[in-house]
Amino acid sequence: MAKKITKNMTFREAMKVSQMSGLIFLKYGMHCIGCAMANEESIEDGAKAHGLGDEEITKMIKEINEKIAKSNKKPTETKK
């Protein structure tokens, strides 16, 4: 099972789990993946600095983890 992204991870840690997380960060207006703070700042702190509230942060983290889970699913075999 793949590691889940949490709001307490740094942006760098999240990107190590899945680069797809960067696309979701961009969707939420957070271009932190190239920022020097990405190595040290938590996703939650960065999101709040960009004006996201707790509900938006929770939604973003959920979306990232759903995308990761979906990408890790193996396609089901079709019956012949």
pLDDT tens track for 3-33: 899 999 999 999 999 998 999 999 999 886 7
The predicted model gives 34-40 an average pLDDT of 79
Q: What is the pLDDT of residue 23?
A: 92
Confidence of residue 64 (pLDDT cuts 50, 70, 90): very high
Rounded (5°) CA angle 16-58-3:
30
Q: What is the pLDDT of residue 76?
A: 64
Tell me the average pLDDT of the chain.
87
Q: What is the pLDDT of residue 74?
A: 64
11-72 domain in CATH 1.10.3910?
Answer: yes
Handedness of CA 19, 23, 24, 25 (dihedral sign): positive
